[in-house]
Amino acid sequence: MLTNRRDVEIEFGDCDPAGIVYYPNYFRMFDASTAHLFEAALGMKKIVWIRRFDIVGIPVVETGATFTKPSRFGDVVSIETGVTELKRTSFVVGHRLFNNGGLAIEAREVRVWASIDPDHPERIKSRPIPPEVIAALSR
């Protein structure tokens, strides 16, 4: 499966009063990393592939992380992101965040390929992941 790597500089606003990254901010970084993975796989920005495949997005339905090393203001961390499992309408994304060469966090997200429910326009509904997307992520 395709893996994407990106570097992120920890900013002052990412941190709590103890001077370490406030843990919900990691999930914001991971969400952006998932978008970067899809951009690398599909060759287009998120706004474009959302329109191209007529979906509302790829919402998270389950998540979790193991934190083993803190990150602080000014650190430059590397995040490796890849799909670890592809199903019909959902997929699992794995993230590994490295700080100063050491593994600091392992996280996972379960996401669904989602569009507006035609029978209930106020709701969203999962739908099959297109073969083109599966092929791009499977490289």
Cα separation values, 77 from 26, 64, 100, Å:
11, 19, 7
Here the CATH number for the domain that contains residue 107 is 3.10.129.10
pLDDT digit string, tens, across residues 103-136: 999 999 999 999 999 899 999 999 999 999 999 9
The model's pTM is 0.93
- pLDDT band for 40, please (50, 70, 90 cuts): very high
Residue 4 is predicted with a pLDDT of 97
Phi-psi region of 120 (alpha: psi -120 to 50; beta: other; left: phi over 0): beta
Which has the closest alpha carbon to 93: 139, 46, 130, 60? 60
pLDDT digit string, tens, across residues 63-107: 999 999 999 999 999 999 999 999 999 999 999 999 999 999 999
| Residue type at 75 in one-letter notation | D
State the residue range of the domain holding 76.
3-137
pLDDT digit string, tens, across residues 17-34: 999 999 999 999 999 999
28 in Cβ contact with 14 (< 8 Å): no
Number of domains the chain is built from = 1
Residue 1 is predicted with a pLDDT of 85
Task: Let me know if 119 is a catalytic residue.
Answer: no
Average pLDDT along the chain:
96
Residue 30 is predicted with a pLDDT of 98
- pLDDT band for 138, please (50, 70, 90 cuts): very high
pLDDT digit string, tens, across residues 4-17: 999 999 999 999 99
73 in Cβ contact with 12 (< 8 Å): yes
Q: Which pairing describes strands 60-67 and 102-112: parallel, antiparallel, or unpaired?
A: antiparallel
Catalytic residue, chosen from 7, 14, 16, 75, is 16
Distance CA 56, CA 59 (A): 9
The CB density around residue 133, as the number of other CB atoms within 10 Å, is: 22
